[in-house]
Amino acid sequence: MDLLNTLVEKGLRRELPTREEALAVLATSDDQLLDVVAAAGKVRRQWFGRRVKLNYLVNLKSGLCPEDCSYCSQRLGSKAEILKYTWLKPEEASQAAAAGVAGGAKRVCLVASGRGPTDRDVERVGKTIEAIKEQNEGVEVCACLGLLSDGQAERLKDAGADAYNHNLNTSEATYGQITKTHTYADRVDTVQKAHAAGLSACSGLIAGMGESDEDLVDVVYSLRELDPDSVPVNFLIPFEGTPLAKEWNLTPQRCLRILAMVRFVCPDVEVRLAGGREVHLRSMQPLALHLVNSIFLGDYLTSEGQAGQADLDMIADAGFEVEGAGTTTLPAHRSEQEAARGCGSGAAGGSLCGSAASTDAPGCGSACGGCSGHSEHEAPAPVQAEAGEVRSDLVAVRRRGAGTDLAPNA
């Protein structure tokens, strides 16, 4: 296809595709899918080889959020039966993080529900970062705490944070249909604050909320303009008890086309396959590794992912390798830009956000629907769920790890 040849050439040159080209990727047929994956895979390998970065989520404070993000199990008025608890102590968070690091995670993502942190919260998270880094030498730490006030990003940076996550989630035109308690501009402002403080910015999207192809392209182009180091792509998992509980709009093929489009628009950026991959991609997950260079290990914030060992086996079986702590994630030209901002993230100096978008803290902008997977103990997910149904059988609420007495899944 001339389209794919053009997109590969542009990706290798870090040149922005046209909007028409990005929309054309989303409009390709299932018969063309493997060609699309192969083309985007060339761009992925140019900038990231066959490395896969592992990230691990620690939910510092779960539920009871005052924001009304429709996709989130922790939202105001949510009836989802998730774990609810207040702040973990630094030693509890450090213990949870250690499980992920032991499983191969290079980055730990600290997430707390809420509109945004108080200054006391920032101090609390700073102590948690210190405890984690004392126990795990060289680990990268990303914070995801919601909307930031002036000076808070600088304080997190001084406390040892390497990155900050805050997702745009969807296009500016449709944002008001998803959330009423804060604005799209609020989210952009927080990403800019993180950048200005020298933190590695991480910002992504949620697909599957009923948006159009144009909305998906709009948000990805907005992300390219913001220039984050990491772009997490979440696929909505409709939690029972949330307004989007019946939004089952994705197929594995649709998910792969979305990931390919993101890779073409953001060729040299860490593209992270975040929440929802287990439910929506299912047996097609290995194909996604040809498009993304980063995933989450184990469970998400309020839902379970597949077994950590299953993630490692999948990476190896697909012919990829886990990125080591001594390897810089970003290509050299982006690493140099990051160093110029004074980020200094991690032992490797490549600062990429790991949260994500795969979090369900509305303040951090991540999908609670995007934080869902299925437990290793469940039967495989059925073939496609139908739109208009509530499918609680496809979403396993997290009952282990942080905030419980049970061991985490890492």
- For 387, other C-beta atoms within 10 Å of its C-beta total 12
Q: CA–CA separation, 189 vs 23, rounded Å?
A: 27
Tell me whether residue 353 is one of the annotated catalytic residues: no
For the segment 68-122, what is each residue's pLDDT rounded down to a tens digit? 888 777 676 666 667 778 899 999 999 999 999 999 999 999 999 889 999 999 9
144 annotated binding-site participant:
no
Tell me whether residue 65 is one of the annotated catalytic residues: yes
Q: Residue ranges per domain, the chain?
A: 2-394
Strands 294-296 vs 270-273: parallel, antiparallel or unpaired? parallel
- HSE-up of residue 20 (Cα within 13 Å, Cβ side): 2
Q: CA–CA separation, 355 vs 353, rounded Å?
A: 6
Q: Which of 107, 257, 272, 398 is catalytic?
A: 272
Residues 106 and 266: beta-carbon distance below 8 Å: no
The token duo for 330 is 């970003």
Widest Cα–Cα separation across the chain: 56
Query: For 144, which DSSP code?
Result: E
Say if residue 254's pLDDT is above 90. yes
3-state secondary structure of 3: helix
Of 368, 250, 192, 257, nearest to 23 by C-alpha is: 257
Tell me whether residue 266 is one of the annotated catalytic residues: no
Q: CA–CA separation, 304 vs 381, rounded Å?
A: 13
Least confident of 83-87, 90-94, 312-316, 362-366: 362-366
391 annotated binding-site participant:
no
Q: Which of 109, 364, 368, 371 is catalytic?
A: 109
Least confident of 60-74, 287-301, 358-372: 358-372
72 annotated binding-site participant:
yes
pLDDT in the model for residue 360: 43
3-state secondary structure of 378: coil
Q: Name the pTM for this structure.
A: 0.87
For the segment 217-234, what is each residue's pLDDT rounded down to a tens digit? 999 999 999 999 999 999
CATH topology classification for 2-394: TIM Barrel (3.20.20)
Query: For 356, which DSSP code?
Result: G
- For 270, other C-beta atoms within 10 Å of its C-beta total 29
Q: Is 256 left (phi over 0), alpha (psi -120 to 50) or beta?
A: alpha
Contacts with 349 (C-beta within 8 Å, 6 or more apart), sequence order = 328, 335, 338, 339
Tell me whether residue 255 is one of the annotated catalytic residues: no
What mean pLDDT is reported for the chain?
86
- HSE-up of residue 180 (Cα within 13 Å, Cβ side): 2
